[in-house]
Structure 1
Amino acid sequence: MPIVTIQVTREGSAPSRDSVTPEEKASLIAGVSQLLFDVLHKPLEATFVVIEEIELENWGWGGLPVAEYRKQLAKTGDQ
């Protein structure tokens, strides 16, 4: 029984939203489940997929909160 956890940031891929849509979540679940079926021959009904949406302030990059890291990148022009 595989359990797959997908973590995505709540930063929207479109400017007008700040989370993954139910349709996108359904597509992620279907795609991951199909991948495990195709590669490992795990039945679809035996695969569990958990999607966690992470707030921007709850993740880091380069040893810093991501907002601070991005500020530093902007200052150096390394974007």
Structure 2
Amino acid sequence: MPIVTVQILEGRTDDQKRALVEEVTKAVTTTVDAPADRVSVVIEEMKPQNFGKAGVRASDQ
């Protein structure tokens, strides 16, 4: 039973998140031969002020 966690910055639409779940599920079923009904996808959204890269918070860009 694969469980995939995707961490993204908040602000994506419901349609984008729906498509993300669908595409991640397809990728997992293809690569590890798991049935789609056994694949779980968890989306964790972060506020831009709680994520930084190269010493700069996303909210400060």
The number of residues matched between the two structures is 59
What is the TM-score when the length of structure 1 is the normalising length? 0.67
| Residue 24 of structure 1, aligned match among 1, 16, 19 | 16
| Residue 48 of structure 1, aligned match among 24, 40, 45 | 40
| Structure 1 unaligned spans of 5+ | 11-18, 71-79
Distance 2:4 2:56 in 1: 26
Q: Which has the higher contact order (CA 8 A, sep 6+)?
A: 2
**Which residue of the partner structure matches residue 49 of structure 2?**
57
Q: Name the larger-Rg structure.
A: 1
Identity across aligned pairs (percent)?
31
Deviation at 1:52, TM superposition (A): 1.2
RMSD of aligned Cα (Å): 1.3
Query: Going by fraction, where is strand more abundant, 1 or 2?
Result: 2
Distance 1:28 1:58 in 2: 22
Deviation at 1:49, TM superposition (A): 0.3
Would you identify which runs of 4 or more consecutive aligned residues in structure 1 move more than 2 Å? Answer: none
